[in-house]
Amino acid sequence: MKNFAGKIAVVTGGGTGMGRELARQLVAEGCNVAMCDVSEAAMAETRRLCEAEKLPQGLRVTTHVADVSIEDHLTRFRDELGEQQMTDRIHLLFNNAGIGGGGSLFTNTREQWERTFNICWGGVYLGVRTFLPMLVKADEAHIVNTASVNGFWASIGMNQAHTAYSSAKFAVKGFTEALINDLRLHAPHVKCSVVMPGHVGTSIVSNSRKVQSADGSERLNSDEVALTRKRMVAAGVPDADKMADEDIQAAFAERARSFLEDAPTTAAEAARTILDGVKAERWRILVGEDAKRLDERVRATPEQAYDRAFYESFTQEVGWRLG
């Protein structure tokens, strides 16, 4: 697929981050976009940004509220898309939606763990299941599943567990690799790619907290304050056990700000890398220099990938601040 003009794309998690930037760049290339998100307000802002430069005549940008972990939501999204975009086929499916959280089997609840896993993995699986018939009807099509460097390196540091997100992203990577031959055998005009970003500047830290808590607040509840304090103590933060609750709140807010604003790769840069990878029909798309370096290191010394020396040398090389 050498260009996106006149095509129809589905983008999950289109309200913020890479999803928003994918939508904006697709529209800029003349592609119709149908996006979903759990936040109607966030999607409205994405749509406003898409339309800011005036859409070409006939181009459509539609928004649909949906939780990608719930099949009925995706089915409704598909049906709304067909009606509003006036189509029975799509050309591009970006399974981009994801959240963090549920890192530990010990300190997080089962509900938190499965919420993360069901969105990050289930959303991809259900997205493909739901939209595959529409992709097959197109003359050419491409499935783009967002994994992470945590799809080949299941960690964010020695002092913090990261099991739910990593498990989900490993599943996304394996699923997409298995799709290569499944599609080749049964729908050769449909291609697929797995996207593995490093640290990309998005609102995933604050958004994940909102989705996990279901209260939409920027502030931690009392249980989250206690868990954040425990993590800070484990990470060796001086006097973390004595910090006031408001100081814990401030530390979380700073972490969310830093993840968004201090990342080595912006969401716009990530979206451009992804779209270029689709045009080049690359099935494996690494996003960011940090992702490329980590991939090389894990492949070179897989048995050492979870040793302290590996962590320390890698953080020095790329400037990550791991837990």
Question: Pick the residue with more confidence: 262 or 126?
Answer: 126
Q: How many CB atoms lie within 10 A of CB 256?
A: 18
Token code pair at residue 294: 């980590």
State how far the Cα of 92 lies from the Cα of 127, in Å rounded to an integer: 12
Q: Is the pLDDT of residue 235 over 90?
A: no
Which of helix, strand or coil describes residue 145?
Answer: strand
* DSSP calls for 14-59: TTSHHHHHHHHHHHHTT-EEEEEES-HHHHHHHHHHHHTT-PPTT-
The DSSP call for residue 105 is: T
Token code pair at residue 135: 């992709």
Q: What is the pLDDT of residue 21?
A: 98
Contact 101, 92 (CB under 8 A): no
pTM above 0.85, yes or no: yes
The answer to which of 1-10, 50-59, 93-102, 182-191 has the lowest mean pLDDT is 50-59
Distance of CA 309 to the CA centre of its chain: 29
Residue from 91, 82, 89 nearest 7 by CA: 91
Beta bridge partners of 120: none
State how far the Cα of 43 lies from the Cα of 37, in Å rounded to an integer: 7
Average pLDDT over residues 235-252: 84
Token code pair at residue 36: 């979903």
Residue 106, class by beta-carbon neighbours within 10 Å (0-12 exposed, 13-18 middle, 19+ buried)?
exposed
Q: Is the pLDDT of residue 237 over 60?
A: yes
Average pLDDT over residues 176-182: 98
Average pLDDT over residues 25-53: 96
Q: What is the pLDDT of residue 322?
A: 56
Q: Indicate the pLDDT class of residue 194, thresholds 50, 70 and 90.
A: very high
Average pLDDT over residues 121-143: 98
Render pLDDT for 270-302 as a digit per residue (tens, 0 to 9): 999 999 999 999 999 999 999 999 999 999 999
Q: Is the pLDDT of residue 204 over 60?
A: yes
Residues contacting residue 195 through CB under 8 Å, at least 6 positions apart: 144, 145, 146, 147, 274, 277, 285, 287
Q: Is the pLDDT of residue 254 over 90?
A: no
Which of helix, strand or coil describes residue 188?
Answer: coil
Q: Is the pLDDT of residue 28 over 70?
A: yes
At 54, the amino acid letter reads K
Q: Could you give the domains of the chain? A: 8-202+265-318 (3.40.50.720), 209-262 (no CATH)
311 noted as active-site residue: no
> How high does pLDDT run on average in the chain?
92
Q: How many CB atoms lie within 10 A of CB 206?
A: 19
**Quick one: how many helices (H) and strands (E) in the chain?**
12, 9
State how far the Cα of 165 lies from the Cα of 175, in Å rounded to an integer: 15
State how far the Cα of 209 lies from the Cα of 165, in Å rounded to an integer: 14
Average pLDDT over residues 308-316: 92
Q: What is the pLDDT of residue 270?
A: 97
Say which of 125, 165, 306, 311 is annotated catalytic: 165
Beta bridge partners of 262: none
Q: What is the pLDDT of residue 263?
A: 80
Q: What is the pLDDT of residue 135?
A: 98
Q: How many CB atoms lie within 10 A of CB 129?
A: 12
Residue 160 region, left (φ>0) first, then alpha (ψ -120 to 50), else beta? beta
Residue from 174, 211, 214 nearest 196 by CA: 174
Q: Indicate the pLDDT class of residue 218, thresholds 50, 70 and 90.
A: confident
Residues contacting residue 171 through CB under 8 Å, at least 6 positions apart: 121, 124
